[in-house]
Structures are given as structure tokens and as C-alpha cells.
Structure 1
């Protein structure tokens, strides 16, 4: 948790408490359902929480905007982002009901008021959003086909999608010449982030 406060020194006490409580909750629920790889759980704050909060280093969600976390799995990046952006609405979407049910419990236990869940395949979702966030659930081109009609046409923001990715993305981004890559090593000095990136693709 010290790692989070190192890079986000302006967090409020409630946000610190919620982020601090995350590891204990995930340790409990991970014994029942594999929300997070047990191989990486010992680096919970670095590889899961801080990685997801990389989005918060490169982008600010405006109060009142609505964000879909596509393929949220165990609640990442939606839960950490909903804590850091308490005035933005986050809809955590996944088709695996047992994971969504636990994510609901975690949201309830943390008293997060701006995060909600929907158990559905993303391509069948009829809701509209200002932004989409996603942590490497598929190739960007595939995800783009799922979400291209999911954006609010009346959004006052420059809406689009933010992807958490790793490695060389040159091939994957050939179809998206306007994509912007943000290497997270520019924000977080730990070696884990050497190949990690946030990719922003505007919907305009």
C-alpha cells in the first residue's frame, strides 16, 4: 500500500482505507474463486492496483461521466479507478456470473457508491458510455468491434477507450494509427512497468 501512496500522495483518508482494504478482501475471496492469479498475488498492489491506476496517471475522468470496465474479471481496473474517481460512474461488465457476484460483494464491503456491475457479454450490452477501460482481455481490434457503438453521441467529452497493455503493440495497433501509447515506466519506476502501457484511442 505504501507503493500506492508513493505515487498518489493526494489520496483522501477514505480512499486510502478503501485501497488498503482491497488486499484482505481479495485474499479472502480468491480462496473461493480465482479472481487474481495466485502466482502474482504477492505483488497485489504493484501488478494489479498500481498497474490499473496507470490510467489515472495519463487521463482524468470528469465528474458525471460514465465509464465501462469491459471484461472486469475480478474488478480490475474498475474498482481501483472508482475509488480514485469517486464522482465518476463505473459500470463493471463481465459474462462470468460467479466473478460478478463476488465483485458486487467487494464493492459493497468497501462502501463504493459509484461502481455497479452487469453480468452480460459486452457485445450484447445496450448501455452507452463516455469511456471504456479494459485490461488486456483480447486484441484491441476485437474489443473495438465490441464497443464501437457503445459511446454516447452527446458526450461533451473527447470520449474513447483506454487499454492496459504490455509488450510490443506495433502489429496490434496497425489499424489504429491515431492511437496514443503512454509507457508506464515514465510514471512508475519499478521494473515491472518497463513494458507496460496505457493505450488511448479516441472515438472521434
Structure 2
């Protein structure tokens, strides 16, 4: 994606685009590429690809949720900060938690947020199933951009969502996978509020799902990760 097209597509989203924010994105890109030479953060490093697959993609959840009303946001499995840091740049009032089990990536994020002068950001180097044990129902919005199956994502992320809070999953097309996991959503005291299928400007398929926690969960904490993988809830919950 050329920079001009990036700006054009950005202006179609419900975000406030300013020179300061664009400058921070540019600094983000420079820092990412430089740091990536010594630590493997991402295989996507060309400016055109970063603009599309990292920066623009990170802002697509604004299509289904008003981030101006978010107080506390946790990005689960944040990696190099996508989508959490990009959302923080455009919605600076959010209290952001970046969660990842890779300490090298957390160190990068600490370095990055200092360079970008982002305030009210905390960093947690921990496995999400362990983090949930001491942070149950803490966040009004939980977000994950991941390749894991939905039932795994739900078990890792939904315990972190506060009552009347939301979870957003960012994946490729997931219609069939979502149908198989509706009961899992309900098992965690949640309901599906919205699903949006769309294509990125390069034609790639994307899906966003918005889940509301509107009830008490039948379980409180996620299981050990080995059990989550070996015994998927979608095969156990009826």
C-alpha cells in the first residue's frame, strides 16, 4: 500500500487523523525495522506492507466499536504492538496493557513507547492463561489479532473481560469457525454482538467479531494451555 493510499483509506475510518499521529506511525515504522535487525519481531518489514498489514489492519476494529469510550484495553499476544500500540496512538486516553509471553518483544515495546512518548501503558510478560488467574474480569475491552483457533482465543481472552465489557477478535474469514463456537461464547457468559467480514485494500479477507459479556460465566479461569489445546471446549460444551 502506497502512503497516499494509506492516508486515503485511513480517512474512511472513524479515527481522528493528525500530523502528530502520522509522525508517530512513521517513527514506529523506523523503530520496528531497526530493532527487527537484532530481534525477530515480524517478517513484514517493507513500508508498503507495514502500512497495510500492520498499521491499517490494526485500526479496522474501529469499524465495529467506538474506541473513544474505552477506558481499559488489553492486547493479548500483542507481539510487536499490533493492534494495541496503533490504537493507543489514535486514542491516547486509553489505558493500555500489552500482554505477551516473549520477553524480547516486551523489551521492544517498552523501548518503542518511550520513543513515541505514549503514557499510561503497562507491559506484562506472561502467558495469558496465567495472567487471567490474577486479572479476572479486569478490562472493559480485550482484543486479539491471532492465528489461534477461536475456541482457544475465547478461553484465553474472555475471562479477562469485565461484566458488560467486550472482546474483539481479528482474524481471516471465520464464518464456519464462529458457527462451531457459539456455545463456547455462551459458556463464558457472553453473546455475539456483531460480525463483520470485509477485504483489505489488497483483497485479503478479514473478519472482526464483537463479543459482549452480559452474564455470569459457567467457568472462571482458563485451564492449563495443554488442556485447552488437547480438549477443545467446542467439543465439550453443548
Separation in structure 2 between the aligned mates of residue 39 and residue 16 of structure 1, nearest angstrom: 18
Map residues 20-39 of structure 1 onto 2, 5 A cutoff: 20-38=26-44
Q: Which has the higher helix share?
A: 2
Q: Mind listing any 5+ residue stretches in structure 2 that lack a counterpart? A: 184-190, 215-238
State the shift of 1:167 in Å: 2.7
* Superposed CA offset, 1:2-36 (max 9, x none): 34422333412221111122211111011111211
Q: Report whether the alignment pairs 1:191 with 2:202.
A: yes
Count of residue correspondences: 196
Aligned equivalent of 2:67 = 61
TM-score by length of 2: 0.75
* Superposed CA offset, 1:39-85 (max 9, x none): 77651110111111101222112456101100001111111111111
2:149 to 128, 139, 144: 139
Bigger CA drift: 111-120 or 174-183? 174-183
1:140/1:173 contact within 8 Å kept: no
Structure 1's 18 and 33: CA in aligned 2 closer, same or farther, altered over 3 A?
same
2:196 to 151, 166, 182: 182
TM-score by length of 1: 0.86
Q: Secondary structure at the match of 1:123?
A: helix
2:91 to 74, 80, 85: 85
Q: Mind listing any 5+ residue stretches in structure 1 that lack a counterpart? A: none
Bigger CA drift: 87-96 or 13-22? 13-22
State the shift of 1:184 in Å: 3.0
